[in-house]
Chain A
């Protein structure tokens, strides 16, 4: 039996940085991730034996030092391990995970949730068709399978859309067009955050370089785009219609890649009983934490994009800060040492977060994506349309719970991951009180047999 001081869920930049910092401070760490390797979303597959394709660029290769940090003594990594429950036993946090069809349980005085983000669902008519996919999902295929989308259309908004367009250009598979929902009004609103951006000039310069690359490659950019609609031809290609600056367009493409930024993955933190709040600037639900990532549940901490979107550099810094406070709580360092060692990551976090208010305003998701109407499917699992949800509200349903009972929206296998926010947007749009949706365990489906045969694993002496 292995005793550990800290269980880290998620091996992205936040989790990797926290593991290295806490292990360097003498803590014994168990790190769990449902992917086959460490890296998280940004550095996915970076540690593969065959070197990653050059077209993924410098920002991808920049994750190598974080991966190297995992070789610090005291870190045990378990991969292909999906955490499905966090609770407590005899006053100590307990984590349950499934690996290769068997479930395990482990306990530690501290658990760091570093599960990251998911892409914001982007509902419009036709978004469930084969060939429509989030842009980040296509990027996962580039990173892990060297699969390049053929003659893609990139549609939506956000820095990641530009990064992926640039990666596709460098890969020799340029997209046929960018269709951007950004409007001049969003840019105007973003401009008042510009003074803070001065702290993040290198970041801004990188973004501008991406846009220059797209322009230089001669890729058409449609802006102020709205009214997305996709339909499939008999040969499988998609007709993607939209308006841009008031004019109607239709593009034909085998693959339509959409993106409207990323949102914290909060099923795990909500199901663990941690308090959450609505973040209006990011239009997302996020856990409430102190400045070290501590939560209102004893022993549970959160760092990285799962605590609120800040990007990889912010996630790395937040991981270090959480680890330092955990080391203090474990009695391995005193408060002064924590505060001294926290100076560099605190500065890095401030720098990384400086550009966020600007990005959040400049690439805000448009109202029709947040609160769709008509025949647009909102709940992909149960195929519930926006019209059906609006009807259930007219029929007397109140709050997410009432809508779910009336329509089954959010009750399929994804447990609302693809529709919670849209449901909220429609409720708000209809003047109903949008309570935060609850999340239940298991947060990922686990076979009943697996639950029954729960194998004891690495139990610490409580």
Chain B
């Protein structure tokens, strides 16, 4: 099911950028991050966690990694840190697959932290 955006509709601000999210059209305003554009469009999950629970962008400042999304085929992109551009192809990530790949970079081998 689709869930309404949790934010008020924005006043018109001229030209829109056009992207797709899982094949469906989604628009953004110039200056929007991907996370802002997605939150403006829908109140639905933009990702499902390792255990399949729904998530949306959380901290909006690059800290929590809850906003991870696939952008033009590139998984694990932080949607709150990337500006929207015309023609971007976005896909929601579901489950552990993408995340585990990220976790295997040296960044995450901090077991002794």
Are B107 and A34 interface neighbours, CB within 8 A? no
Are B31 and A439 interface neighbours, CB within 8 A? no
Query: Smallest CB–CB gap between B95 and chain A, Å?
Result: 12
Q: Which of A226-275 contact B (CB under 8 A)?
A: 234-236, 254-255, 265
Cβ of B97 within 8 Å of any chain A Cβ, yes or no, is no
User: Chain B, interface size: which category?
Assistant: 35 or more
- A21 to B6 CA separation, bound complex (whole angstroms): 43
Q: Which residues in B have their C-beta under 8 angstroms from that of A234?
A: 1
Q: Which residues in B have their C-beta under 8 angstroms from that of A136?
A: 60-61
Provided the pairs A418-B63, A418-B64 are in contact, do residues A48 and B31 lie with their beta carbons within 8 angstroms?
yes
Cβ of A220 within 8 Å of any chain B Cβ, yes or no, is no
Cβ of A333 within 8 Å of any chain B Cβ, yes or no, is no
Contact among A129, A414, A442 for B65, CB-based, below 8 A: A414
Q: Which residues in B have their C-beta under 8 angstroms from that of A418?
A: 63-64
Are A417 and B63 interface neighbours, CB within 8 A? yes
Query: Smallest CB–CB gap between B66 and chain A, Å?
Result: 6
Are A254 and B113 interface neighbours, CB within 8 A? no
Provided the pairs A128-B55, A130-B56 are in contact, do residues A411 and B110 lie with their beta carbons within 8 angstroms?
yes
Q: Which of A276-334 contact B (CB under 8 A)?
A: none
- Which residue of chain B is the closest to A255 with respect to CB atoms? B6
Q: Which residues in B have their C-beta under 8 angstroms from that of A149?
A: 6-8
- Which residue of chain B is the closest to A132 with respect to CB atoms? B58
Cβ of A192 within 8 Å of any chain B Cβ, yes or no, is no
Contact among A413, A440, A444 for B103, CB-based, below 8 A: A413
- A380 to B64 CA separation, bound complex (whole angstroms): 8
Q: Which residues in A have their C-beta under 8 angstroms from that of B64?
A: 380, 414, 417-418
Are B60 and A411 interface neighbours, CB within 8 A? no
Are B65 and A381 interface neighbours, CB within 8 A? yes
Cβ of A159 within 8 Å of any chain B Cβ, yes or no, is no
Q: Which residues in A have their C-beta under 8 angstroms from that of B94?
A: none
Q: Which residues in B have their C-beta under 8 angstroms from that of A415?
A: 107-108, 110, 113
Are B99 and A131 interface neighbours, CB within 8 A? no
User: Chain A, interface size: which category?
Assistant: 35 or more
Cβ of A87 within 8 Å of any chain B Cβ, yes or no, is no
Q: Chain B CB within 10 Å — which of A137, A145, A146, A448 has the most? A: A145
Cβ of A425 within 8 Å of any chain B Cβ, yes or no, is no
Q: Chain A CB within 10 Å — which of B11, B54, B61 has the most? A: B61
Are B31 and A145 interface neighbours, CB within 8 A? yes
Q: Chain A CB within 10 Å — which of B7, B29, B54 has the most? A: B7
- A401 to B81 CA separation, bound complex (whole angstroms): 30
Interface string of B21-55 (1 = CB under 8 A from A): 00000000101110010011001110001110111
Query: Smallest CB–CB gap between B104 and chain A, Å?
Result: 10
Q: Which residues in A have their C-beta under 8 angstroms from that of B57?
A: 133, 137
Interface string of A125-158 (1 = CB under 8 A from B): 0001111111011101100111111100000000
Provided the pairs A130-B45, A147-B39, A412-B99 are in contact, do residues A438 and B60 lie with their beta carbons within 8 angstroms?
no
Provided the pairs A36-B83, A130-B43, A412-B65 are in contact, do residues A236 and B4 lie with their beta carbons within 8 angstroms?
yes
Cβ of A170 within 8 Å of any chain B Cβ, yes or no, is no
Are B55 and A442 interface neighbours, CB within 8 A? no
- Which residue of chain A is the closest to B29 with respect to CB atoms? A145
Contact among B7, B81, B83, B103 for A148, CB-based, below 8 A: B7
Are A236 and B36 interface neighbours, CB within 8 A? no
- A163 to B81 CA separation, bound complex (whole angstroms): 25
Are A137 and B61 interface neighbours, CB within 8 A? yes
Contact among A131, A416, A439 for B6, CB-based, below 8 A: A131
Q: Which residues in A have their C-beta under 8 angstroms from that of B51?
A: 383
Q: Which residues in A have their C-beta under 8 angstroms from that of B1?
A: 234-235
- A346 to B77 CA separation, bound complex (whole angstroms): 42
- A238 to B29 CA separation, bound complex (whole angstroms): 27
- A369 to B15 CA separation, bound complex (whole angstroms): 44
**A–B Cβ pairs within 8 angstroms, 7 of them:** A137-B59, A149-B6, A235-B3, A401-B112, A404-B110, A444-B107, A448-B105
Q: Which 3 A-B pairs have the closest CB atoms?
A: A236-B3, A137-B60, A145-B36
The chain B residues found within 8 Å of chain A, CB to CB, are: 1, 3-8, 10-11, 13, 29, 31-33, 36, 39-40, 43-45, 49-51, 53-66, 68, 76, 81, 83, 99, 102-103, 105-113
